[in-house]
Amino acid sequence: MSEPFLTDEQVAAFERDGYLVVDAIADPREVVALRDGYDEIFGRVGGFAEQDRIELALDGERPVLPQIVNPERYLPELVQGTAYANAQRLARQLLGPGMVPMGNHAINKPPLDGAPTPWHQDEAYWDPHADHTAISVWVPLQDVDESNGCMAFVPGSHREPVRPHRLIHPDAHGLRLADDTEPAGAVACPIPAGSATVHAGRTLHYAGPNRTDRPRRAVAFAFACPSAPRATPHDYPWQRPEWFAGDATDTQPDDERKGPR
Ligand code: NI
């Protein structure tokens, strides 16, 4: 059993707020060393397993919110250093020793071009036939603030039901709250490179656009307790292809939309 990573106060704050800022989860040299590889995999054309490179949002037909699912398949160093080791340690503290890795992803916001990641709850993407207890550990590879897309959270929203969601764009994969109104009480979390934010499956969260002339690189590691089947499934109509506006043949079946985004 590894040493605890979080203090009791941090664990209590996470349980109260549904999110947490954690300083210095990664060795600074590791973070700098990851940047070139991160840029390289986002610059690749092709070579990805099916559904590993997806677009969360489009501007017309132009991708503006590229995501790589399972980025460690293409950049193994992402899970070989202090960031992932410490993410596992804090996941064991928050979820218990039975926690399992739930998959990783990376979202890149290109310079002067990255779209916002609209308000959503990760659980809206997940299987409605199960109850989920999960966290995401989000690690930016450069300093982040509101100029380049830091995370923002609504404290206490992790205790709410999953709100109605819809697609960001009919031909892309990302989900957003159906209600366009900015949720009340949002807290932006500017953090340095190699620090982390942690949030729960139902915590309302958002990341703004990147208005700077440098990429906004971030990777997210997800962990979960084994999920429990529900007697009565949730009704998530946004996961049903026929529900989407536009041509249903352009949308993805439910089982292709797994994991937090
Ligand atoms: Ni998310």
Distance 55 CA to ligand 1 centre (A): 14
Centre of ligand 1 from the C-alpha of residue 118, in Å:
9
Helix (H) or strand (E) holding 85: helix 82-95
pLDDT band at 19 (very low <50, low <70, confident <90, very high): very high
What does the pLDDT read at residue 243?
Answer: 55
Query: 88 alpha carbon to ligand 1 midpoint, in Å?
Result: 19
Q: What is the pLDDT of residue 64?
A: 80
Ligand 1 geometric centre to CA of 203 (Å): 9
Which pLDDT value is given to residue 241?
66
Find the 201 Cα to ligand 1 centroid distance in Å: 8
| Distance between Cα 2 and ligand 1 center (Å) | 28
Tokens of residue 157, six digits = 């929203």
Whole-number Å distance, alpha carbon 205 to ligand 1 midpoint, is: 6
pLDDT grade, residue 246 (50/70/90)?
Answer: very low
Predicted local distance difference test score (pLDDT) of residue 29: 96
Tell me the mean pLDDT in the region 168-176.
86
What spacing in Å lies between the alpha carbon of 199 and ligand 1's midpoint? 9
252 vs 241, more confident: 241
The pLDDT, as a whole number, for residue 130 is: 94
- CA 87/CA 1 separation, integer angstroms: 14
Is the pLDDT at 1 greater than 80? The verdict is: no
Calculate how far, in angstroms, residue 206's C-alpha sits from the geometric centre of ligand 1.
7
Distance, CA of 105 to CA of 67 (rounded, Å): 7
Taking alpha carbons only, the member of 219, 210, 233 closest to residue 261 is: 219
Average pLDDT over residues 215-237: 94
- Which residues contact residue 232 at a Cβ distance below 8 angstroms, ignoring those fewer than 6 apart? none
How does residue 259 score in pLDDT terms, banded at 50, 70 and 90? very low
Q: b vs e for 131-168, b when ≥16 Cβ sit within 10 Å of the residue's Cβ?
A: ebbbbbbbbbbbebeeebbbbbbbeebbeeebbebbbb
How far, in Å, from the CA of 33 to the mean position of ligand 1? 25
Give one DSSP letter per residue of 142-180, joined into a string. Answer: S-B-TTTT-EEE-TTGGGSPPPPEEESSTTS--EEESS-
| Tens-digit pLDDT profile for residues 177-221 | 999 899 999 999 999 999 999 999 999 999 999 999 999 999 999
Residues by chain with Cβ below 5 Å of ion ligand 1: 122, 260-261
pLDDT in tens, 42-92: 999 889 988 899 888 888 888 888 899 999 999 999 999 999 999 999 999
- Distance in Å, CA 202 to ligand 1 centroid: 9
Strand order in the sheet with 151-153: 117-120, 205-207, 151-153, 187-189
Query: How many other CB atoms sit within 10 Å of the CB of residue 236?
Result: 19
Digit-coded pLDDT (tens) for 107-146 = 999 998 778 999 999 999 999 999 999 999 999 999 999 9
Stronger pLDDT, 227 or 203, i.e. the higher one: 203
Q: pLDDT grade, residue 227 (50/70/90)?
A: confident
Centre of ligand 1 to C-alpha 96, Å, is: 22
Q: Which of 19-33, 82-96, 108-122, 218-232 has the lowest mean pLDDT?
A: 108-122
| Alpha-carbon separation of residue 72 from 26, 52, 75, 79, 196 (angstroms) | 16, 11, 5, 6, 18
Expressed in angstroms and rounded, the spacing between residue 184 Cα and the centre of ligand 1 is 18
Residue 255 pLDDT grade (very low, low, confident, very high; cuts 50, 70, 90): very low
Distance 225 CA to ligand 1 centre (A): 18
Distance between Cα 260 and ligand 1 center (Å) = 5
pLDDT at 251: 36
Closest CA to 36 of 142, 114, 144, 136: 142
Among 99-103, 195-199, 251-255, the minimum mean pLDDT is found in 251-255
69 C-alpha to ligand 1 centroid (Å): 13
Residue 36 CA to ligand 1 center (angstroms) comes to 24
